[in-house]
Structure 1
Amino acid sequence: MNTTKNRSNWGMALASWGPRFLPFADAASDDLPLSRLLRLSLFQISVGMAMVMLVGTLNRVMIVELKVSATLVSFMVALPLLIAPLRALIGFRSDNHRSQLGWRRVPYIWMGSLLQFGGFSIMPFALLVLAGAGQASQAPAWVGQLGAAGAFLLVGLGMHTVQTAGLALATDLAPPERQPQVVGLMYVMQLIGMIGSALVLGYLLHDYSPGQLIRVVQAVAVTTLVLNVVALWKQEPRSRLRKPGTPIEHTFAQAWQLFCQGPNTLRRLLAVGLGTMAFTMEDVLLEPYGGEILHMSVSTTTLLSATLALGGLLGFAWASRVLGRGGDAYRMSGWGAWVGLPAFACVIASGPLAMPALFVLGIFLIGLGGGLFAHGTLTATMQLAPPGQIGLAMGAWGAVQATAAGIGMAAGGLVRDGVGLISSPVMGYSAVYVLEILLLGMTLWAMGPLLRSAPAAVRPPGISA
């Protein structure tokens, strides 16, 4: 009796706090209470954890500790992102999935979770073979390369599947007027997952050793599976309309053609691709830059991922506040691109000046600008999606974003190695950051026609109609 009463009082207190003290509490509704919404968002925690492992911790360990070339590491890390075009197909298939159980999102979340679990389970051993550690030094080079590539592909495909189907499920459960807030909350939870996992992984890898790497990565595999199972448990209602034999209204090609007929859809996706490439080309190089140029430790450079995620978290929170009051999504994206310009300038200057604090400031601003840009483009995509194609729209946005990120990271490693060979290591890194500044300029150019339709009152400085 007392337990039930205490739970009731806790629930009433939680509800009474409301949006004043709970960020994104306005995303909840009578049919989708905040407790259920937060439990669903656990799948984003697992996605954020996977991103920190792939883009942060593992690439630093491979480059600095295992002495793997930055070009090979960049392509390995980019592999999960280069298969991102499948996200649009995954979103469409989950929209139209037919099964005896009447589910359409849960099967994709479950299979994606298994793929992530399998990839992380074999990944530490594949990386040690790739580096030729211990008895693996006698193995052919292709064994380690194939094993590492397979592990990264499994994690990447699982991550894309879980996130695409999970965001679509969150949108299904939310009332139409709350869908943008719900998606914003989901991405904030991803950033929280990145921050938390970066802190924990940094602590666990403070004293690095191959054995500790194996323990940490396999713990991530188990944690991923547990989080995703808890997230999807009793979330999606079953429907008889999804039984096998129920006709599908459109093929994927027809649905994609309908989506592309929206106003400025292709230009918007071009801006998403250019901006994402600009904000992610340095992802696999930030921690190696801190270790090689500024001589920071493994645990300290792992915390850089938390700094990047914190900036993104604040960017998403600010964008949600402004867009929730009727702000223009394209303008918000433009502000994000403008914030990125001084951010990369700080990173470039930190090396010659030997100022780690300036480097950290630049990383924070990169996260802030990237958060503003991502939220603005995602909101614009959702608002202009054809009826019944929210899942496809988010899949298309995610496909372009992740593909551009993969190409950017692969190109970043190639440029870093190429320029570093003919010059100094610091020049190799700086060349990448200068290229990102140029890409931000191209992003603002691509967004010009989109920004012209917005009122001039809050247009980012330097952009005119």
Structure 2
Amino acid sequence: MFRTAANHREHHQTANGLSWFAIVRLGLIQASLGSIVVLTNSTLNRVMVVELSLAAVIPGLLVGIHYAIQLSRPVWGHRSDVGSSRTAWILGGLALLAISGTAAAATTFLFEANFYVGLVAAIAAYTLIGVGIGASGTCLLALMAAKTAPERRASAATITWMLMIAGIVVTSIATGINLDPYTHSRLVAVTAITGLVVLCVSALAIAGIEKKPTVIGDKDRKPATSFQESIKEVLNDPEARLLTLFIFMSMLAYSTQDLILEPFAGLLFGMSPGETTKLSGTQHGGVFFGMAVVGIAGGLFSKRKPGLIKFFIVAGCLGSGLALAFLSLAASVAPAWPLEANIFALGFMNGAFAVAAVGTMMVLAGAGKSSNEGVRMGVWGAAQAVSFGLGGVAGTVVLTLGRWSTGNDATAFTLVFALEAILFLMSALVALRIGVKPVPRRDTEAHTAPSTVPAE
């Protein structure tokens, strides 16, 4: 028996998974998701509070709704597991996101006409936004996990998230240019055009990728069956449970700081709004750099050092906790503290652990007894969504209670940062218990076994 040239090429693709170019193409889809979400979470949020003079709690609750709806992520993941095409779910979810994002922008007209009608329409739009994000994002990660070689998964996660950040930045700049002078019609038009552009880009980016060979060994794995069975399998898997707990705790700590860092700099360090905005940019620069370091190291060394991803997770959590502990100290000595350096270090450690955690999700997505990558990604995505929804609220609530009970801003911020540091320490302890398994030997054997297909 001889292997034909076509068989040889297929074997080579299976062993190595997606090329770097294909991984970048999938990253463009994540960038597309970020481009639409930033319009609903940031731009529309500002319009509701400033131009429409709504209470800040209104857009806050609307964003909370789309996070809550993402508890449905396991359902969409399972649908893609048992269906014939993850591509359809990815593009369908992205199309729904584009349409519902435009509808959310259009509610600005309704709010001006009748507050209650506008609120009902906005709730419906944000509900669909949550469905679109959940369906598209979950199935995208499941597809990437199934098609990417294990040694490239940390780098793939880095590329994907860095492109998402880039998409957010580009969209924010383009939106800022095209929204002036502001009108509701301009907002709707910009949102609609953004949705159309990213949908076209995503359709081109994903074309043909699902036909690539799967690197997760399907030979000895059962096909996914019912949703109940898939969920039961995930919940009965100790490592899947540990990873779910880790994601919830670490992302809760990660997101709790979002809404309090700028007030912290303003109240205790006397920074102006422009200066605190630059400080936020410093933090995101740190996140970007931390992700890049993990991606480069993962691409160069993860094949020879399979425990490297776990190292970055634990080190990132411990480093984030240490940076937050220093911020607690900074609250008592402000303004005599190198705040910018502290914030950059926090961002760097946040980026390192976050992208390493996504890489771990991609590794463990194929560790089940059945082909249920979508459900696994859905469970972990739901844990992250809940954490992000709770984090911002928790940070502001604890800060408010601290200021009320102590009458001292520095003490209140110290309390919040200390609690976040403890959460990161606990997350690191959980991460130490997660054994990032290498690809099972049967997968390798399936890839390297001699072909029994006769020459044509």
Q: TM-score, with normalisation over the residues of structure 1?
A: 0.72
- Show the 5 A alignment for 1:259-338: 259-283=234-258, 294-296=271-273, 307-323=282-298, 324-325=301-302, 326=305, 327-338=307-318
Counterpart of 1:377 in structure 2 is 357
- The match for 2:103 among 95, 107, 122 is 122
Change (3 A) 1:217 1:453: closer
Q: Please say which of residues 39-48 and 310-319 is displaced more in the overlay.
A: 310-319
Q: Secondary structure at the match of 1:68?
A: coil
Q: What's the counterpart of residue 62 of structure 1?
A: 48
2:25 aligns with 39
8 Å CA contact 2:141–2:362 kept in 1: the answer is no
Q: Distance in 2 between matches of 1:211 and 1:68?
A: 19
Give the AA of the match of 1:401.
Answer: Q
Query: Aligned partner of 1:223: which letter?
Result: V
How many angstroms apart in 1 are the aligned matches of 2:399 and 2:49? Answer: 13
Per the TM alignment, residue 95 of structure 1 is displaced from its structure 2 partner at its CA by: 1.1
Offset, 1:105: 0.4
Q: Which AA in structure 1 matches 2:229? A: Q
Amino acid at match of 2:231: W
Shift in Å, 1:124: 2.1
Change in Cα spacing, 1:381 to 1:35, as seen in structure 2 (3 Å) is: closer
Shift of 1:44: 0.8
Matches within 5 A, 1:170-319: 170-204=144-178, 210-237=184-211, 249-283=224-258, 294-296=271-273, 307-319=282-294
Q: Which amino acid in structure 2 is aligned with residue 367 of structure 1? A: G
Larger RCO: 1 or 2 (CA < 8 Å, sep 6+): 2
Q: Determine if the alignment matches structure 1 residue 158 to structure 2 residue 140.
A: no
Name structure 2 gaps, 5 residues minimum: 1-12, 214-221, 436-456
Give the letter for the 1:406 counterpart.
G
Q: Determine which of 36, 40, 58 is the counterpart of 1:50.
A: 36
Question: 1:5-29, CA deviations, whole angstroms, 9 ceiling, x for partnerless residues?
Answer: xxxxxxxxxxxxxxxxxxxxxx998
Conserved 8 A contact 1:276-1:405:
yes
Question: CA 1:367 to 1:70, structure 2 compared with 1: closer, same or farther past 3 Å?
Answer: farther
- Name whichever of 383-392 and 205-214 sits farther off: 205-214
State the AA in 2 paired with 1:335: A
Answering whether residue 79 of structure 2 is matched by residue 104 of structure 1, we say: no
Q: Report the equivalent of 2:450.
A: none
Q: Which amino acid aligns with 2:104?
A: M
Q: 1:451 to 1:361 in 2, by over 3 A?
A: same
How far apart, in 2, do the equivalents of 1:214 and 1:356 lie? Answer: 44
2:368 is the alignment partner of 1:386: yes
Report the number of matched residues: 404
CA displacement 1:191-233 (0-9 Å, x = unmatched): 2222333343444457655454344333322233222222233
Report deviation, 1:164: 1.3
Which residue, out of 385, 388, 402, partners 2:385? 402
Q: After the TM superposition, which of the residue ranges 401-410 and 148-157 deviates more from structure 2?
A: 148-157
Inter-CA distance 303–449: structure 2 relative to 1 (3 Å threshold): closer
The correspondence for 1:339, drawn from 294, 319, 326, is 319
Task: State whether residues 285 and 347 of structure 2, in contact with CA within 8 Å, keep that contact through their aligned partners in structure 1.
Answer: yes
Following superposition, the deviation at residue 111 of structure 1 comes to 1.6
The answer to whether structure 1 residue 447 and structure 2 residue 424 are counterparts is no
Which region of structure 1 is more displaced relative to structure 2, 171-180 or 344-353?
Answer: 344-353
1:91 and 2:71 aligned: no
Matches of 2:208 and 2:395, distance apart in 1: 42
Per-residue deviation, residues 120-146 of structure 1 (Å, max 9, x unmatched): 21222324544x4xxx2xx2x322222
| One-letter identity of the residue aligned with 1:190 | M
Kept in 1: contact 2:30–2:164 (CA 8 A): yes
Deviation at 1:94, TM superposition (A): 0.5
> Which residue is 1:15 aligned to?
none
Structure 1 residue identity aligned to 2:125: A
Secondary structure at the residue paired with 2:209?
Answer: coil
How far residue 404 of structure 1 moved from its aligned partner, in angstroms, is: 0.9
Residues 147-156 or 203-212, more deviating: 203-212
What amino acid maps onto 2:374 in structure 1?
G
Separation of aligned partners in 2, 1:170 and 1:453: 21
SS at match of 1:407: helix
Counterpart code for 1:224: V
The CA distance in 1 between the partners of 2:416 and 2:34, in whole Å, is 26
Distance in 1, matches of 2:127 and 2:228, equals 26
Moved more, 345-354 or 437-446: 345-354
Deviation at 1:288, TM superposition (A): 8.0
Counting aligned pairs with the same residue, the percent is: 25
With over 3 angstroms needed to count, the CA separation of the structure-2 counterparts of 1:412 and 1:104, relative to structure 1, is same
> Residue type of the partner of 1:394?
M
- Shift of the 65–171 alpha-carbon distance from structure 1 to 2, 3 Å rule, reads same
The DSSP-based 3-state class of the residue aligned with 1:236 is helix
- What is the CA distance between 1:49 and its match in structure 2? 1.6
Amino acid aligned to 1:229: A
Say which SS state the counterpart of residue 283 (structure 1) adopts.
coil
Counterparts of 1:17-28 in structure 2, within 5 Å, are: none
Distance in 2, matches of 1:144 and 1:430, equals 40
- Over 3 Å counting, the alpha-carbon distance change for 1:382 and 1:211 in structure 2 is closer
The match for 1:18 is: none
